[in-house]
Structure 1
C-alpha cells in the first residue's frame, strides 16, 4: 500500500512488529518475577532469546525483502514505511538486550546458591583447568575446522544461528580474519563436578584456545559470534515444476533457507571492534544490526540443567510438576466412542489430558464400524502416538486421509518425515493448496452402524502435538453432532478437490467465510446496541492484526458495545481512545503455560453465539490460510468456556492491561489474588479427585463445580447469574 492509497485512521492502531516486541518484553519480565522459581525464570530468558531469533528470521527478514521490491509500501496500522519500521525496530532492541543481559546475570548469581554454576575459563581451579585442557585435546581439537580468509581461502558461508569463534589475526604486519565453527556434534555443556552443576560451555573453551588453534599467528581480537539469516521463504513464491514432488521441493527450500542474507550479527565482546567492522562489511549489514550480548548467544542449553540437579535443589528452583488430569466423568476403561456419542466433550489443555482424544482415535483404528478417519495435521510430536494410530487404522483397511501441511514454519522436516511414513503405511496424504497453508485442526471419524452413517468430529484450537498439549493452553471439542459432522465431511471433500468456496451450515471456514461472518457478527452487536438490547463481545486469541477487523471493532466500540479482548501476543488496536476505542479493554496473560486458545463470543445470556477456532484474527489467517471455527452448542460447555474467559479477565497476577498510551502494565491485585492458570490447575486436580466413580452423569455435573469455583473468585449479580 502506497502513501497515496493510505486513507486509514491510524489514531487507534499500532504497528504489529513493535507490538510483538512489547509481547516479548512481557515474556522477559517473567524472569524478574520473584514468585517464579529461579531456573524457570532462566528458561524465560531463553524463551525470550528464541522468540527474538524467530522474529529476526521471519519478520525482520520479510521487511528487508519488502524494502527491495516495494520501498514505498506503507504499513496500514501505523502509516510507517518499511524503512521507518526497521528503524523503530532497531531502536527498540538495544534496551531489550541490556535488560536480558542484566536479568541473566542476576539469575545466574542467585542459582549459584543452588549449585548451578556456569564458569568461564578463568574461573577454573587447577584440577578443572587440567581436566578441560585434556578434554580439549582429546574431544574438541580433532574435530575443529578452522579457516583463515586470504587470497586462496574465500570468506566462508556462516550458517544461520550457528555458533562460531571469530578471530582477527596478524602475521608479518598483515591482518587476516579467521573463523572456527563450533561443531554441532560436540556436547554443548561440559560438566565439571559430578555432585554440583558446575559447567562450562564448549564455545568458551574454543575461544580460550584460539591462540593454540592459530598458533602461527598473533591473535589480536577474538569473540563468539552468531549470524541470523532471513528465513522467510514462502514456497508458493518459488518457481518450480508442477510435476515435481512437493516433498522434494520442500527439502530444497529448507536447504536454501540456511543461505539467505544476514539480518543480524551477535557478538560476545563489544571490544572486538575490528572484527565487527570486518564482519559488517562482509555480511553487508549496518551497524544497527550488530548486537553485543553478555549472556551466551544461544540459550537452549538451560533446559538441560534441570536433569543434573539433586531432588532438593530441583524442588527449590523449578515449578512443582503438573500432570494433565484425565477429565472427570470420562472412564478410560470404557469405549471412548460410546462416550463421545452420548454427549459433547470439551478438553482443556494442559489442565486436562489429551488422552481421551488419543484413545478415541486408537479405538476408531480398530473398530469394525469405522470406515474412515480424516484429519488435518500442522505440527506433530517427533514421537507422535496419534500418527501411529492413523497408521494402524490404514493397516486395518480404514480409509485414512491426512491433509499434511509441509510448510509449518520450522517444523517442515518433521512433517516431511511423518508424511513419508504415513504414505508408506497406506494413508492418503495430500499437501494442501498452492498459496494457502492448511492451519485448521479438524478430525472426522465416520462410522457405518446399523445401516446409517454416524460422525464423530473433533475440532480444536491447537495442534495435534502430544508434547505441546502439556504446555499450551488450548481447547478441543469432540461432538457426535450430525450437523457438525456433515459440515466436516463437506470440508474434507472440498479440500480434496481444491474447493475453497464450499458452503457450510455451521462451520466458519477461511479464507471464504470466516472473516465475513465475524464482521457480520460484530455488526449484529452494533445493531443490538443501537436498539438498546444487551450486547457484548469477548474474543480470546494470540494476535489481532487484521485491518478490517480493527475498524469494525472500533465502530462497535463507538456504538456502545462492550468489547473484552484477551490477546497474548500482537495487538494492533489501542484501547481506551476517546471516540475510537473507549469501550474496548485488552488483557494479555503470560504465565507458566502458553495461552494459545481462540474463542469468539458475541452477545450475552442464552443467545450468546460462541465459537472455538484455529484462527487468530490476522489477515494471513483469515485470507491466506485454511482455518476452521466451530460453534459451541452444548449449554454446559458453553457456560464452562465463558467462565474460563471471565476468570482470565479477572486475573490480577499474571495479566497485563494495555493502556491508551500503547504500553502494557502488569495488573496489581488488591485483596484476593486470582491467577487463572493456577486456578485451572487446582480445579482440574480437584475435579479428577472428586470423580469417583466416573460416569456420564458426573461429567454433566462438572461445569457446575467449575462454575462454583469461578463464582468464589468472581462474585456475580443475580441477574447476570441467571443469564
Structure 2
C-alpha cells in the first residue's frame, strides 16, 4: 500500500487542469475571441480525455478485478464515478461560459442564433438551402424491429426525433446524421450565423412525412479510441496487464463511452439510446452549448475584422534569434559556441538551415534523427530527403505510434524511404519520444559530431504554438553519447550507458534521483538544497516519493507543472517544502527543465520527459546537460521569469484546488518573453509599450509611456 496523504488521482488532477483552460475562456482580461479559442481547446481536450483516459478505465472495468490506483487507492469503477461527478460540474461551467461569450458577441453586433430566432426572411432562405444543398447529403432512417440502430461515428453529431406513426399511433425514433463534409457554420449575413445541426433539426422532420414529431434532440457519441495499451500510464501488477491484453483481444473496439444531448429526452427515448449504445445513465451529459466546439477557431478568423484588433491577441511571429547570425553558416556558429533556441519566441529556421547545410556539405557523412510528430508539410523531412539524395547516410527513427499522428508519420516514413533514407520504427514495447539530431562530419580522417537536442518535436507548426528549447552543440562528449544512442537504437539496446546524457528507461530516472540525493546531502552537510522543475505532468509514483523524500530532508522544491500533478504540496511531514504551480497562457507551456542547486553551480538539464511512468519507464527519452555557462544562465533567468508570473500562474493548494498567486507586479511571463523577442529579434524595432511589468494603477498615471520607454531602453 502507498501513502496517499500527499497524492491525488491522475484523472481528477487532469480535469482540474482542463478547468484552468476553461478559466481562461472566462477571464475578462483575455481578448474576447481568444476566450473563444480557450473554450474550444477545453472542449477538444475533454473529447480526447473521454476517448483515451475514460476509454482505458472502461476497459479496466471489464476485468472484474479491482485495479487500484497507487495515488488515490481508488479502483477503476471508483475513478469512473468520481470522473463523471466532476465532469458534470464542468459541463455546467462550460455552458455558462458559452452563454457569456455569445452574449458578448451579440453586444458587439454578431449573432449566433437558434432556429426559433429565425426571421421570416431567413426561413425563406434556409428552407430551399436545406432542400437543395443539405438534404442530398443526409443519411437518415427510423429505428424499429426491421431498421436496426445505425452506427454513430466517434464524435459524430446526429438529430434524434421522437416519432409517432400517424396511422396507428405507434412510437419509434428517427435518426439523421449530420454530414461532416458540410460547413458547420451557415452564414446568414456578415453579422449572423446558425449551426448546421440547428437547421437540420428544424427542417429534417419533413423527411419523416408519415410521422408526427413528438420531440427532437441533438446528440453526439464519444467512443473509446483504439489505443496501444502498453503506452498507458498505469502502474499495476503484471498479471493484470496480461489479463487485460486478453480482454482487449475480445472486446469490440471503439465502444461508446459518452453520450451528449442538448436536453434530456423522455425516459422512453433515453432507454432506447442507452440500450443501443450499451451505456448507463451516468455517461449521459446534457449540455445547452454546442458540442464539438472546434468550429470556433474558424469563426474567430471571420469575426476578427468585424470586432476589431482589441478582440484578439496582437499578432506575433517568431523572431530571429539574437544568438544566431543569419549571414554566417550555422555549423560554423555551433562549432564556435553552443546555441539555444527558445520557441515560439525565436524561429525554428536555424534548424532548417543546419539541415540544409548538412545536406550539401561534402564533409558531412551522416545525419541521424528521431521524429515523433512532424508537420504535414515538413521542411525537416524535405531536407532529410535532400541529404539522402545527395549521398548522405540518413537514418530516421520514425515513431509510428504517436497518438493521433499515426497516418501522417506513416506517409512521411514512406516518402523518406523512397528518397533513400534508412527508416527504423522504434521498439516493440517502448515508444521513442526523444528529440535528438546528430550530424557527423569527417575532418582530417576523424569523426566530428554536432548534436541538437530539444524538449519539443521537429515540427514547424507547433514550434509557433508550443514553448520549447532546442540546444545545438558541438560538444564532442555529448555528440559521442548521441552517436552511441543511435547505435543502441539499431541493436534494440534500451539500457545503454552514457557519459553526459540521461536516457530512459534506465539512466534518466536514475540520474534525476541521484541529483536529488546530492541536494539532500547538501542539507545534511548544513547547506541549502534546491530543486526547480518545469514540465507538463507528474504522475510517476517512484518520482513522487523521491520528491517527498527531498522535501522531508529540507530541500526546497519548486515545480511548474502545466497539467497533471499527482503530488500535492504543503502536506505536513510529506511535502512541506514543496510548491507546485501551473501556468496556462497564450502559448502551450511544453518545456521540460530540471534544475538542481542554484546559480553557477546548478546542474541544469533540458529533456523530452515528463515525470510520468510512461515517459520514465516505458519510453525512450533523453535529457541533456547544459554545459555552456551563458546558456545555463539564460535558462535560469527564464525559470525566474516563469516563476515570477503573477497573472497567469496558479498555485496548487493542499486542498488539491488551484488559486491565484498574489498579484504584486501584474507580470505576465509569456508577454514579457514576446516583448523581449521583439526588442532583440533581428530587424524588429522596440514596441511602444510593455504590457507586462507595469502595475495596472500605473497605467493611468501621466507620463506612462515616457517612464516605460526609459525603463526598457534607457
Shared fold, TM over 0.5:
yes
Aligned to 1:385: 379
CA contact (8 A) 1:159 1:259 kept: no
Tell me the CA shift for residue 423 of structure 1: 1.4
**Displacement after TM superposition at 1:122 (Å):** 2.0
Equivalent position of 2:269 in the other structure: 275
Match for residue 488 of structure 2? Answer: 494
Query: CA–CA distance in 1 between the matches of 2:486 and 2:384?
Result: 16
Aligned to 1:658: 652
2:600–2:633 contact (8 Å) kept in structure 1: no
Q: Is 2:648 aligned against 1:636?
A: no
What does residue 36 of structure 1 align with?
30
Alpha-carbon contact 2:607-2:621 (below 8 Å) kept: yes
Which of 474, 477, 482 is the equivalent residue of 2:476? 482
SS at structure 2 position matched to 1:305: helix
User: Is 1:687 matched up with 2:683?
Assistant: no
- The one of 425, 448, 462 aligned to 2:419: 425
Q: Does 1:325 align with 2:314?
A: no
Preserved CA contact (<8 Å) 2:8 2:568: yes
2:669 pairs, out of 652, 676, 684, with 676
Which position in structure 1 is the counterpart of 2:235?
Answer: none
Q: Which secondary structure does the structure 1 equivalent of 2:70 belong to? A: coil
Q: C-alpha distance in 2, partners of 1:544/1:201? A: 40
Does the CA-based 8 Å contact 1:575-1:586 persist in structure 2?
yes
Deviation at 1:71, TM superposition (A): 2.5
What is the distance in 2 between the residues matched to 1:11 and 1:329?
47
Match of 2:173 in 1: 177
Which sections of structure 2, spanning at least 5 residues, go unmatched? 233-249, 686-691, 696-714
Distance, in Å, in 1 between the alignment partners of 2:186 and 2:36 is 19
Q: Offset at 1:310? A: 6.0
Q: Say which SS state the counterpart of residue 89 (structure 2) adopts.
A: helix
The answer on whether the counterparts of 2:304 and 2:311 sit within 8 Å (CA) in structure 1 is: no
Note if contact 1:12-1:574 (Cα within 8 Å) is conserved in structure 2: yes
Structure 1: gaps of 5 or more residues? 1-6, 239-255, 693-708, 713-723
Q: In the alignment, is the contact (CA less than 8 A) between 1:160 and 1:259 conserved in 2? A: no
Q: CA deviation at 1:508?
A: 0.6
Quote the residue 1:246 is aligned against: none
Superposed, 1:455-474 pairs within 5 Å as 455-474=449-468
Q: TM-score, normalised by structure 1?
A: 0.90
Equivalent position to 1:619, from 608, 613, 625: 613
Counterpart of 1:398 in structure 2 is: 392
CA deviation vs aligned residue, 1:318-364 (integer Å, no higher than 9, x gap): 11111111101322232111111111011111111111111111221
Q: Tell me how far 1:270 sits from its aligned partner.
A: 2.3
What is the 5 A alignment of 1:564-575? 564-575=558-569
Matched residue, 1:188: 184
- Partner secondary structure for residue 363 of structure 1: helix
In the alignment, does 2:602 pair up with 1:608? Answer: yes
- Residue 521 (structure 1) aligns with: 515
User: Aligned equivalents of 1:237 and 1:483: distance in 2?
Assistant: 32
Q: Go from structure 1 to structure 2 and tell me whether the alpha carbon gap of 1:155 and 1:308 turns closer, same or farther (over 3 Å shift).
A: same
The offset of 1:689, in angstroms, is: 5.2
> Aligned in 2, Cα 1:428/1:99: closer, same or farther, shift over 3 Å?
same
Matches within 5 A, 1:24-103: 24-69=18-63, 71-103=65-97
Q: Per-residue deviation at 1:564?
A: 0.4
- 2:402 pairs with 1:408: yes
Alignment partners' CA distance in 1, 2:267 and 2:645: 47
Cα offset for 1:236? 6.0
The answer to whether the 8 A contact 2:504-2:622 is kept is yes
Return the TM-score normalized by structure 2. Answer: 0.91
Deviation, 1:201, is 1.1
CA–CA separation in structure 1 for the residues paired with 2:117 and 2:416: 52
In structure 2, the partner of 1:589 is 583
What is the deviation of 1:60? 0.7
In the TM superposition, residue 587 of structure 1 has moved relative to its aligned partner by 0.9
Write the distance in 1 (CA, Å) between the matches of 2:266 and 2:345. 49
- Using the TM superposition, give the Cα deviation of residue 312 of structure 1 relative to its aligned residue in structure 2, in angstroms: 5.8
Alpha carbons of structure 1 residues 19 and 355: separation in structure 2 relative to 1, 3 Å? same
The verdict on how the C-alpha distance between 1:612 and 1:310 changes in structure 2, with shifts beyond 3 A counting, is closer
Using the TM superposition, give the Cα deviation of residue 600 of structure 1 relative to its aligned residue in structure 2, in angstroms.
0.5
Measured after TM superposition, the shift of residue 115 of structure 1 is 3.7
- The separation in 2 between residues aligned to 1:562 and 1:628, in whole angstroms, is 25
With 227-236 and 292-301 compared, the bigger mean Cα shift is at 227-236
- What is the alpha-carbon distance in structure 1 between the residues aligned to residue 38 and residue 261 of structure 2? 21
Q: Does the Cα contact within 8 Å between 2:231 and 2:614 map onto a contact in 1?
A: no
In 1: Cα distance, 2:304 partner to 2:575 partner:
52
Question: Per-residue displacement from partner, 1:215-242 (whole Å, max 9, x unpaired)?
Answer: 121222211111111115217699xxxx
SS in 2 for 1:506: coil
- Given that residues 221 and 274 in structure 1 are in contact (C-alpha distance below 8 angstroms), is that contact kept between their aligned partners in structure 2? no
C-alpha deviation, 1:606, in angstroms: 2.4
1:114-152 superposed Cα distances (whole Å, 9 cap, x missing partner):
343212222222332222112111111011110222233
493, 497, 511: which one aligns with 1:503: 497
Deviation at 1:645, TM superposition (A): 0.8
The structure-2 alpha-carbon separation of the partners of 1:92 and 1:688, relative to structure 1 and needing over 3 Å to count, comes to same
Question: Which residue is 1:696 aligned to?
Answer: none
Q: CA–CA distance in 2 between the matches of 1:292 and 1:498?
A: 49
Q: Alpha carbons of 1:317 and 1:237: their partners in 2 closer, same or farther (altered >3 Å)?
A: closer
1:11-36 CA distances to partner (integer Å, 9 max, x unpaired)?
01111111000000011000111111
The 5 Å alignment of 1:293-312 reads 293-309=287-303, 311=305
| CA 218–199 in structure 1, closer or farther in 2 if over 3 Å, else same | same
- The match for 1:126 is 120
1:280, CA displacement in angstroms?
1.1
Report the equivalent of 1:215. 209
Q: Is the 8 A contact 1:612 1:629 kept in 2?
A: yes
Distance 1:124 1:181 in 2: 23
1:121·1:129 contact (CA, 8 Å) conserved in 2? no
